[in-house]
Amino acid sequence: MADTTRITVTLPTEQVAELRKLTDNVSGHVAQAVARQLRHQLLGADLLRHEEEHGEFAEEELAEACSRIFGATGADGSVSAA
């Protein structure tokens, strides 16, 4: 089991009401959102560091990355996951 620390977080009433429509586990939902945001920020910092060391990404590199992440669209319009 993961180590946890209890803290109190204050959210607007409207947000809590909407969260309760989505889940019975508001704390778990918020924890997942925080983890996702932290990963996003760390990835952004890694990408900036890579560009500082190696220069900006080429259009071909960006296109390949998008294809791997979102799947490639074939000539017939079909989508395949990479």
Asked whether residue 41 is assigned to any structural domain, the reply reads yes
Q: For residue 3, what pLDDT band results from cuts at 50, 70 and 90?
A: confident
CB 52 within 8 A of CB 45: no
Coil, strand or helix: which one is 69?
helix
CB 56 within 8 A of CB 46: no
Q: Which domain holds residue 39?
A: 13-68
Cβ neighbours for 37, distance < 8 A, ≥ 6 positions apart: none
Asked whether residue 52 is assigned to any structural domain, the reply reads yes
Q: What is the pLDDT of residues 13-29, one digit of tens each?
A: 999 999 999 999 999 99
Asked whether residue 6 is assigned to any structural domain, the reply reads no
In the chain, the number of structural domains is 1
Q: What is the pLDDT of residues 40-76, one digit of tens each?
A: 999 999 999 999 999 999 999 999 999 998 986 544 5
Asked whether residue 78 is assigned to any structural domain, the reply reads no
CA distance 37 to 19: 17
